[in-house]
Amino acid sequence: MDERNPQSVARRLVTLGQNVSLSIVAVLLSVGLVEIGVRALGLAAPGGVATVDTRDFERIPGPFEPGQLVVDRRLRALPFEVRTNALGYRGAEIAATKGPDEYRVFFAGDSLTFGDFVDDNQTLPVQLEQRLSVCTPRVRVVNGGLGGSSIDTQRSLVERALGLAPDQVVLMFYENDVGDLAQPLAADLARNRAARARLPLSVVYPVLRRLATWNLLLEARASVRARGRLDRRRTPDATGADESSASAKVATLRAKYGVELDGLLELVNARRVPLTFATYPSHLTLATGTRSDTLTWVEALAAERQIEPVALLNVLLASRLGASDLYLLPLDGHPRPLAYRLVAEPLTLAVIRHSKGRLHCPGLDQSGTARASRPDREESLE
């Protein structure tokens, strides 16, 4: 039979089309069955908060895709609602142009600032804004938190937010911020944006991001990378040389943190924007009842730069509450809303103090809590 016969060619094309269609259907059915299994077994949750793509990154200052309303179910026992505004930040809408009777605070930090596992109205930036609601002019607090970030990425977020004309910047340090400098989040996000802009991911990503299977694969990749970093730091027979090498790495990262802090200070000082620097303890530190080496170091680093840190450990210890009362233990190590309410008070007073008289807040006592949050004030759970 002549293969060039039009009818023969047509039959072959029809057969090919049928085979391709069947293959696509089989793949979709397989993915659907896997997705049902992943969700039924609770191995991963669908959806999640998406970061900006390349187009939005050039258009808005925030790190998240604007206009999202998501229930984050990474931990089934701790679902929480997240709304992102038109500027790409978590929380209520805020105008790109600051009003004439507005005092604007940009709050930078990691997942504690963002508010992992608490609803929008329970985050620390919202708690701070609520406490400052008695002040004039009106205070708006922008939640610039980004999970997994350290001061390098946070410095970039502050720089991108300068177009919003903040009157003050709050930077919150958490005890894993030094280690997070080893893998800069900004570089990972840039690679992510580039990948999502290319085919075929640019076409399928809007669907993939809503699949629990996709999130399971991402979580597995992150776990493999984390295990690899741990294995490289640890050998079966640890030696003095290993400990010395680890200490040298910590010293290098701490030096990098200092350089980034200097860069951030130069950035805000050039705009005459005051900086409030707060330190938040891990639940492990709180359980010991004493200041960790990391907190001691970073608070001394701030003091060397004429920054009086707001030491939130003292306030949490003074509450006489245990770690399980203040953190989401045993499910997760992030703070509970109660802890955010407690630390919002000294942060409120620090913001008022650093406003240099611009904020007038009747009824707020600036004495006792301000003293309690100083790093030289030691408290104990005993």
Averaged pLDDT for residues 337-354: 98
291-302: average pLDDT: 98
φ, ψ (nearest 5 deg) of residue 187 = -70, -40
State mean pLDDT over 28-38: 65
Phi, psi angle pair for 144, to nearest 5°: -100, 20
How does DSSP classify residue 378? -
pLDDT band at 224 (very low <50, low <70, confident <90, very high): low
Residue 44 pLDDT > 60: no
Query: In one letter, which amino acid is 362?
Result: P
Task: Give the pLDDT band of residue 241 (cuts 50, 70, 90).
Answer: low
pLDDT of residue 298: 98
CATH fold label, 54-235+246-372: Rossmann fold (3.40.50)
154, two tokens:
């946070």
CA distance linking residue 166 with residue 319, whole number of Å:
32
Q: What is the mean pLDDT of residues 155-173?
A: 98
Mean pLDDT score of the chain: 87
Contact 92, 125 (CB under 8 A): no
pLDDT band for position 289 (cuts 50, 70, 90): very high
The answer to whether the bond into 200 is cis (omega within 30° of 0) is yes
pLDDT, position 382: 35
Examine the pLDDT at 14 and tell me if it is beyond 90.
Answer: no
What's the burial of 320, exposed, middle or buried (CB within 10 Å: 0-12/13-18/19+)? exposed
Number of residues that this document lists for the chain: 382
Annotated domain spans of the chain = 54-235+246-372
DSSP string, 161-210: HGGG--SEEEEEEETTHHHHTTS-HHHHHHHHHHHHHSTTHHHHHHHHTT
Question: Helices 337-354 and 124-131, interaxial angle, to 10°?
Answer: 50
One-letter amino acid at 352 equals I
User: What's the pLDDT score for residue 229?
Assistant: 44
Residue 372, pLDDT above cutoff 70: no
Question: Which tokens belong to 382?
Answer: 């005993």
pLDDT tens digits, one per residue of 89-128: 999 999 999 999 999 999 999 999 999 999 999 999 999 9
Question: Which band of pLDDT confidence, cut at 50, 70 and 90, is reported for residue 307?
Answer: very high
CA distance 346 to 88: 28
- When pLDDT is cut at 50, 70 and 90, the band that residue 30 belongs to is confident
Own/partner pairs, 240-246, CB within 8 angstroms, 24+ separation: none
Within 10 angstroms of residue 64's Cβ, the number of other Cβ atoms is 22
**How confident is the model at residue 110, as a pLDDT?**
98
Query: What mean pLDDT comes out for the span 74-90?
Result: 96
Q: What is the DSSP string of 294-325?
A: HHHHHHHHHHHTT---EEHHHHHHHTT--HHH
Name the more confident of 380 and 181: 181
pLDDT at 202: 75
Rounded mean pLDDT of 305-318? 97
Instruction: Give the integer Cα–Cα distance in Å for 260 and 173.
Output: 13
- Output the pLDDT for position 243: 64
Task: Report whether pLDDT(236) > 80.
Answer: no
Based on the number of CB atoms within 10 Å of its own CB, is 298 exposed (0-12), middle (13-18) or buried (19 or more)?
Answer: buried
Residue with the larger pLDDT of the pair 4 and 314: 314
Does 63 score more than 90 pLDDT? Answer: yes
Q: How many Å apart are CA 130 and CA 351, to the nearest integer?
A: 13
